[in-house]
Amino acid sequence: KAGVTQTPRYLIKTRGQQVTLSCSPISGHRSVSWYQQTPGQGLQFLFEYFSETQRNKGNFPGRFSGRQFSNSRSEMNVSTLELGDSALYLCASSLVGTSISEQFFGPGTRLTVL
Amino acid sequence: DAKTTQPNSMESNEEEPVHLPCNHSTISGTDYIHWYRQLPSQGPEYVIHGLTSNVNNRMASLAIAEDRKSSTLILHRATLRDAAVYYCILRDGKSGNTGKLIFGQGTTLQVKP
């Protein structure tokens, strides 16, 4: 069974631009979560989607948004990029996303904002 | 969410057992104890989880204190591939459906050949 895939793997943008990252969950998984990882803040939860609905949201500004499609694929968007948005963005999927379900992570998208 | 405390770093020799501690003194009765690890340049991966009883799987063992205020992840024979950041995470079993994970700083494990 294929794992979680994320595209693109690397991205370079400039301040003020916007970016869209994509995540394809494991087949059959309906929950998709997004995380931001930086050296200073570590791994931080962004949001979770289940059956096309946002179910949980972390403490990030409104510039960060996401959505999930009917095939469970998810995208996250960051508008008006800032230097501090440079990070590794990780996507995780799980079958139904309960508090005991195993989360499967993708390899991440490395975003650099210049 | 209840917090966990882990040592920043630990060292081990290859093929020796490793005991990674985690303190969670404010754990509630419905909190599950999860462990994930992140190998270099990879996303985190699930290791093991438990509620009250000790648990074993092919990767590791989880020993949970009787009062549940601490737990220990045990790697029975460390290999170079086990060098990673290990995260101890509490997940509330009564909070309903959520895939959300709250990561702390974790323990960076170095394995020496």
Better pLDDT: A99 or A104: A104
Nearest to A100 among B45, B93, B104 (CB): B93
Q: What is the pLDDT of residue B75?
A: 97
DSSP state of A3: -
- Could you tell me the end-to-end alpha-carbon distance of chain B, in angstroms, rounded to an integer? 38
Q: What is the pLDDT of residues B48-107, one digit of tens each?
A: 999 999 999 999 999 999 999 999 999 999 999 999 999 999 988 776 667 788 999 999
CB contact under 8 A, B98 and A105: no
DSSP state of B99: -
Q: What is the pLDDT of residues A60-87, one digit of tens each?
A: 999 999 999 999 999 999 999 999 999 9
Question: In one letter, which amino acid is B105?
Answer: Q
Residues of chain A numbered 49-108 and touching chain B (CB < 8 Å): 50, 55-56, 58, 90, 92, 94, 96-108
Number of residues that make up chain A: 114
Q: What is the pLDDT of residue B96?
A: 65
CA-based nearest distance B33→chain A, Å: 9
Least confident of B16-25, B28-37, B93-102: B93-102
CB contact under 8 A, A97 and B97: yes
Nearest to B93 among A43, A99, A105 (CB): A99
CA-based nearest distance B7→chain A, Å: 15
Interface test with B, best of A103, A104, A109, A110 (most B CBs within 10 A): A103
Backbone angles phi, psi at B75, to 5 degrees: -100, 120
In order, the DSSP letters of B12-37 are: EETTS-EEEEEE-TT--TTEEEEEEE
Average pLDDT, chain A: 95
